[in-house]
Chain A
Amino acid sequence: MENSKRSAAEKADFKRELTEVVPHLRAFARGLCGRPDMADDLVQETMLKAWAAQERFEPGTSMRAWTFVILRNAYLTDMRRNRFRGEYDEGVAERILTAPAGQEEPIHLSDMHRALLTLPPERREALLLVGAGGFSYEEAANICGCAVGTIKSRVGRARAALTSMLEDGDIPQRSIGDARAHRAILQELDDVAAGKGIATKV
């Protein structure tokens, strides 16, 4: 690594900003891969990659968007190696994803998370970025390396699917374990991966 080009102060700034986005990386990773332990492994991998690639980070731009690209690509790589199979730990999710007190009609966050995990990965990530992470369509398109219209379409389809599942209470328990669904997901992953370009223009 040619980190020597960066001054100590710049490296300190980078580290501070990286530290600040770690909770967001954990949230994004948890949404992507479901299992908290795997999600945290993914975040640690992302932090190491980001640190090693810090020369390519342009100070003043969004650290969150930049690191999300790295996390996303690490996730796709791991998915293709079959490390994550959308395994879902009911007990853990139930415990962690409890709705804050004061909710008028409590949303069953564990149901939502399970429904989220049944979505094809590219729709899931689009919805996570826009609907949960608060990124604009443009920012999400940059992170995913695709057109803004594509992101809008993916978010729309993801929302429609979630609405249908949550309102009908029809959330597949093990749809990702289903062989047919799994094949479809892998096929879609090929399409998603085709559009990836790590941190080249973020």
Chain B
Amino acid sequence: MNDNETPNQRHNADDGDTTVDQPEWADGLRQLYDSVVDEPLPDSFKDLLSKLDDKS
């Protein structure tokens, strides 16, 4: 998606120098987020998006 908006600011990036104070679970937080991002979009969202054009 828009993940490359802030390529230098991904604090959990492998080589990021801001990772020094990252606790061990930090990657899990990203996984938690990414697991939802990667879910297929429910039909209700597709329906809503397709109706937006009529709502002007």
A residues neighboring B (CB under 8 Å): 1, 3-4, 11, 15, 18-24, 26-28, 30-31, 40, 43-44, 47-48, 51-52, 62-64, 96-100, 107, 109, 112-113, 116, 127-128, 130-136, 139, 159, 162-163, 166
| Contact A27 B34, CB 8 Å, known A62-B5, A64-B5 | yes
Which residue of the partner chain, among B2, B12, B30, B37, contacts A26 with CB atoms under 8 Å?
B37
Do A132 and B32 touch (CB < 8 A)? yes
| Contact A23 B36, CB 8 Å, known A107-B31, A131-B29 | yes
| Contact A136 B9, CB 8 Å, known A112-B28, A112-B29, A113-B32 | yes
Q: Mostly helix, strand, loop or mixed at chain A's interface?
A: helix
- In angstroms, how far is the closest chain B Cβ from the Cβ of A34? 11
Do B35 and A44 touch (CB < 8 A)? no
B49 on interface, CB distance cutoff 8 Å = yes
B residues neighboring A (CB under 8 Å): 1-3, 5-6, 9-12, 21, 23, 25-39, 41-42, 44-45, 48-49, 52-53, 55-56
- The 3 lowest CB-CB distance pairs between A and B, nearest first, are A132-B33, A107-B28, A27-B36
Q: Which of A1, A4, A27, A113 has the most CB of B within 10 A?
A: A27
Provide the bound-state CA to CA distance between A44 and B51, in Å.
12
| Contact A1 B36, CB 8 Å, known A44-B48, A64-B2 | no
Provide the bound-state CA to CA distance between A48 and B55, in Å.
9
- Across the interface, which residues of B come within 8 angstroms of A130, CB to CB? 11
Provide the bound-state CA to CA distance between A113 and B36, in Å.
12
| Contact A134 B25, CB 8 Å, known A22-B45, A107-B31 | no
Provide the bound-state CA to CA distance between A48 and B41, in Å.
17
- Across the interface, which residues of A come within 8 angstroms of B1, CB to CB? 20-21, 23-24, 64
Do A51 and B55 touch (CB < 8 A)? yes
